[in-house]
Amino acid sequence: MNTDLRNIRPYGDQSGDGAVQLSFTLPLQYGPLAREAAKRLCENMGFQDITIATMEDIGENFTFFVIYGKTTASVDASAIKVVAPKFKKMTREQLDEVVKREFNRRIVVVGATIGTDAHTVGLDSILNMKGFHGDYGLERYHAFKVYNMGAQVSPVEVVKKVREVDADVILVSQVVTQRNVHIKHLTELMDLLYAEGVREDLLVVVGGPRITHELALELGYDAGFGAGTTPSDVANFIVQELLRKYSR
């Protein structure tokens, strides 16, 4: 298929048909008014050819909808500049080699799930020997000395640890995002790092299933890693970014 990058539209069964599936609930009693409101809402979102596939009474004056429609929106993909952590992929052996040669010591990494968040599995899968989906974790690299602080760690404790072990890198995990609590936690940590005057010396990286690189940059972090991140991605980024940093 020849796709026009300047005019990317969803594809159902015809090029450019704009087919999209939606589902949502409206706070309206089940009935024709709810149906019409749903249709108009979709129109207001720029949909055409709206099919109300189902509407169902889910009680307490709420109605649930499954809808198919054709969006009039499109995207100019040729104008998109992708932001993503930059690195080329090297093997574990190569990274260990590079670090030995260029640093002549281990890179010190402090990892923690901060704030009230108690999820450790994601962070562990980046740090622990075992790693993630057959990709070994940072502890398995000669290149890194890893301090895994676990979960529910306060920013103050993180800074304490960073000083204690003279860390090069902080790896922060955030999994709970309800009511944007992760933004709060991440901002607190960054503010403290600046207040304590340690920000500049560090690479500060955040990860979690709902984290994007874009968000990380917005919050003043050096990189953000999302769902499905492999430890080797993180390892590559750390080593290559530190080299860039030190060569500046």
Partner 1 sequence: MDRPKIRLDKKLVDYARQLAKEITDEVQQMIEQHSTVSVERTVLRLFGVDGVTDDQIPLVNVVVDKIKEWEMLQDGVAKPFVNAMVVLDKSAQQIAEAIVDGLDLRSLPRASNEKINMKMLELSRQSLETISKKSQQREDLLKELGDPPQPYKYLIVATGNIYEDVVQARAAVQQGADIIAIIRSTAQSLLDYVPYGATTEGYGGTYATQENFRIMRQALDDMARKVKRYVRQVNYASGLCMPEIAALAAMEGLDILLNDAMYGILFRDINMIRTFTDQYISRLLCAFSGITINTGEDNYLTTADAIEKAHTVTASQLVNEQFALKAGMKSRLMGLGHAFEIDPDVEDGLLYEIAHAMLARELFADYPIKYMPPTKFMTGNIFKGYAVETLYNLVSVMTGQSIQLLGILTEAIHTPYLHDRYLALINANYVFNNARHLGREVIFKKDGFIEKRANQVLREAVDLLEHTRDVGLLRAIEEGQFADISRARDGGKGLEGVFRKSESYVNPIQDELEKRLGVKK
**Using the rule CB under 8 A, is 84 a contact of a copy of itself?**
yes
Q: Catalytic: 130? A: yes
CB 154 within 8 A of CB 166: no
Length reported for the chain: 248
- For the window 33-52, what string marks contact with a copy of itself as x by the rule CB under 8 A? x--xx--xx--xxx----x-
Residue 132 is a binding residue for ligand B12 (CB under 6 A): yes
Identity of the residue, 8 or 209, whose beta carbon is nearer to ligand B12 in the bound complex: 209
Candidates 22, 176, 183, 219; binder of ligand B12 (CB under 6 A) is 176
Q: How many residues bind to a copy of itself according to rule CB under 8 A?
A: 41
If we measure between CA atoms, which residue out of 246, 237, 179 comes closest to residue 206?
237
Task: Pick one of ligand B12, partner 1, a copy of itself, none as the site partner of residue 74 (Cβ within 5 to 8 A by kind).
Answer: a copy of itself
* Cα gap 235→199, rounded to integer Å: 20
Q: Is 166 exposed, middle or buried (0-12, 13-18, 19+ CB in 10 A)?
A: exposed
Residues found near partner 1 in the complex (CB under 8 A): 1, 11-15, 19, 21, 23-25, 51-54, 56, 58-60, 62, 64, 66, 68, 116-118, 120-121, 150, 152, 176-179, 181, 209, 227
- Close Cβ partners of 216 (under 8 Å, ≥ 6 residues apart): 205, 206, 222, 223, 224
